[in-house]
Amino acid sequence: MSLHSSNLDTLYRQVIMDHYKNPRNRGDLEGETLHINMNNPTCGDRIQLQLKVEDGKISDAKFLGEGCSISLSSASMMTEVVKGRPVEEALEMSNIFSQMMQGEDYDDETYELGDIEALQGVTKFPARIKCATLAWKAMEKGLNEDDHN
């Protein structure tokens, strides 16, 4: 492992732990929202994702739940990045995230992934990929079932 790779791993771990200890968008949304409950029985992660979709855009996103640091930090990162985006873009970003989690080449040019790239290291631990993708799968499920977008 090169020094650069080691420093990057450390930085990524710090970003993940920051989102875990100081989650963004944790809580309840008021008004009419999509509520999506999902769990990962392998790890015990549970998430309730709440999305407010208005005029084809995700105007707000929050989550509640419990689970490992990877699951909850991924939910924090995901809610941050999809707020204000058109539904189609949020779904495209979910597809890009899925490709990243599967170790495939992914489009990192179209959208600024920001902190989400810190989760790249999860690909080295196949059992943890479901943890990282739980919130994203919940978002996909909710948006694909929603008839308001």
Pick the closest to residue 50 from 31, 68, 74, 23 (CA basis).
31
Please indicate, yes or no, whether the overall pTM of this predicted structure exceeds 0.75: yes
Domain around 76: 3-145
Number of domains in the chain: 1
Mean pLDDT of 94-119: 91
Q: Band of the pLDDT at 2, cuts 50, 70, 90?
A: very low
- 120 pLDDT above the threshold of 70: yes
Q: What CATH number is associated with residue 44? A: 3.90.1010.10
pLDDT tens, residue by residue, 123-148: 999 999 999 999 999 999 999 987 65
Positive or negative, the CA dihedral 91, 25, 80, 134 is negative
